[in-house]
Amino acid sequence: MKKGKFIVTELEKAQQGYLYDAKNDKELLELKLKCADLCYEFNNCKPSDIEQQQKLIKKIVGETKDTFAITPPFRCDYGFNISIGKEFYSNYNCTILDCAKVTFGDYVLVAPDCVFSTAGHAIDPERRKAGIEIALPITIKDNVWIGANVTVLSGVTIGENSIIGAGSVVTKDIPSNVIAVGNPCKVLRPLTDKDKEKYPEYKE
């Protein structure tokens, strides 16, 4: 505190949705480096050493529940802004740019090569050149399935039970109980009871 005023850090600016200096702030650079080292350690674990993988992910990610699985390689900016629910599963090569909060609900499935990016650069070219960024939270609600090679951009919420088709770029909120696809991602149709009959079920 100085002269009766609070000193707001660049990290606090980022978490509150204000423009912040991502390029030159010592605290942010140190936090990113610490997270990068942990991600490197996680990604180089033996595939069979599940216990060590779990220990490292719990050091990286801000909040986890009882059961979850993340298949390496996995990368994120800070880690402490990420919250994952129970039975969360992420396949190979998930990238989370968690400059703001990224929240995954319970039973979320993430296919390979997906990106969740809360980060955006300043639109003004001079600020952008100076390394000024903006970050907005991402929320993935319960029981969402994210298809392969999907990008979810800053400020997006995906409603519960919805499916995002492979290759989609999600730029706006997606409601609950729908299938959505495309670039930009748009609702294709609602989920219906007929979807329960889509695939054959083995019966003796």
194 falls within a domain:
no
Q: What is the pLDDT of residues 68-115, one digit of tens each?
A: 999 999 999 999 999 999 999 999 999 999 999 999 999 999 999 999
3-state secondary structure of 69: strand
Any residues with CB less than 8 A from the CB of 19 and at least 6 apart, and which?
13, 122, 127, 132, 133, 134
% of the chain with per-residue pLDDT over 70: 97
Structural domain containing residue 53? 10-189
156 falls within a domain:
yes
First-last CA distance in the chain:
72
Single out the residue of 159, 196, 199 nearest to residue 185, CA to CA: 159
pLDDT of residue 98: 97
163 falls within a domain:
yes
Number of domains composing the chain: 1
Tell whether pTM > 0.95.
no
Q: What is the pLDDT of residues 110-133, one digit of tens each?
A: 999 999 999 999 889 999 999 999
Catalytic residue among 32, 34, 101, 121: 121
In whole angstroms, give the CA distance from residue 50 to residue 39.
15
The reply to whether 121 belongs to the active site is: yes
In Å, how far from its chain's centre is CA 194? 31
pLDDT of residue 68: 93
Q: How many angstroms separate the Cα of 184 from the Cα of each of 12, 37, 82, 148, 169?
A: 31, 34, 25, 15, 5
Task: With beta carbons less than 8 A apart as the criterion, state whether 159 and 145 touch.
Answer: no
The single-letter DSSP state of residue 26 is: H
4 falls within a domain:
no
Residue 199: pLDDT band with limits 50, 70, 90: confident
179 falls within a domain:
yes
204 falls within a domain:
no
State mean pLDDT over 148-157: 98
In whole angstroms, give the CA distance from residue 101 to residue 119.
11
In whole angstroms, give the CA distance from residue 27 to residue 33.
10
pLDDT of residue 7: 64
18 falls within a domain:
yes
In whole angstroms, give the CA distance from residue 13 to residue 43.
30
3-state secondary structure of 52: helix
CATH of the domain at 63: 2.160.10.10
91 falls within a domain:
yes
